[in-house]
Amino acid sequence: MRVAQMNWMQIEAQAKRDDRCVLPLGCVEQHAYLSLATDAILAEKVANDAAEPLGLPVFPVLAYGMTPSFAAYPGTVSLRMSTYVAVMEDILEAFYRSGFRRIVLVNGHGGNSPIMTLATEWLGRRSDASVRLHNWWAGPRFQAAVQAVDPAASHASWMENFPWTRLEGVVMPDASKPPFNAALYQAANPAKRREILGDGNFHGRYERSDNEMLSLWQVGVEETQAAMTENWP
């Protein structure tokens, strides 16, 4: 259930029935030829697709995340760590105040994953709560399925090219990007990182067939569903 399609009375009743809620974490950043909002779109959609059958409320995506690496690409918005930490603390606290005790962060952007540190700090203060950070694209089942299709898969490659992240009228290069020197890249400033990355695809082809993508998506949805239901402390 999208929280955007609920009112406060419904949330109040829901939190009494089930103390779980979901927050998708996205990012607005370069994704080569794909949507700048790719991570936000994917996180929100996979969260909603997974939560719908479970009847869990999914709050609106936090569209902005941490991505200092891509700061030299126009359209990229990066929140400072100190900012993101504050945002997350406020949101967790609000969920808690609303009656939720098990919170699933469905994260669509690698750069956001440090936020689990903040969530753990917060759990030290709210000791009857639990927080799960689910990096949906990095789950073992989804990654196995990706590898089975094509191991050359990465940020802004075919792996993120779904019908809902590709752009009308934008033609994908018919090529496979070779990998770059990761060690050098990781020590570089944002301008040099852009120089190294060029169009922004990290590695691999730019698109694959819809058949392949929709099967993959299904795996992602199911693994995300498992994250919402299994292994709660």
Residues 5-24 that bind a second copy (CB under 8 A): 5-12, 15
d(CA 222, CA 152): 23
| 6 phi and psi angles, rounded to 5 deg | -130, 155
Identify residues 180-219 at the interface with a second copy (CB under 8 A): 181, 183-192, 196, 199-200
If one asks whether residue 172 binds a second copy (CB under 8 A), the answer comes out as no
Among 18, 49, 52, 130, binds a second copy (CB under 8 A): 130
| Contact range with a second copy by CB under 8 A, out of 47-55, 131-139, 146-154, 206-214 | 131-139
| Contact range with a second copy by CB under 8 A, out of 47-55, 126-134, 141-149, 207-215 | 126-134
- Asked if 48 and 58 count as a contact pair (C-beta separation under 8 A), the reply is yes
Q: Give the nearest distance from C-beta 125 to a second copy in angstroms.
A: 9
If one asks whether residue 127 binds a second copy (CB under 8 A), the answer comes out as yes
Identify residues 31-90 at the interface with a second copy (CB under 8 A): 31-37, 40-41, 59-64, 66, 68-69, 71-83, 85-87, 89-90
| Contact characters 151-170, a second copy, x per CB under 8 A | ----------------xx-x
d(CA 36, CA 184): 25
d(CA 228, CA 132): 8
SS (H, E, C) 144-196: HHHHHHCCCCCCCCHHHCCCCCCCCCCCCCCCEECCCCHHHHHCCCHHHHHHH
Among left, alpha and beta (phi > 0; psi -120 to 50; other), residue 153 is beta
Partnered with residue 131 across adjacent β-strands are 103
| Contact range with a second copy by CB under 8 A, out of 111-119, 144-152, 201-209, 211-219 | 111-119
d(CA 4, CA 22): 13
Among 49, 91, 149, 222, binds a second copy (CB under 8 A): 91
- Closer of 179 and 215 to a second copy (Cβ): 179
Among 98, 143, 154, 176, binds a second copy (CB under 8 A): 98
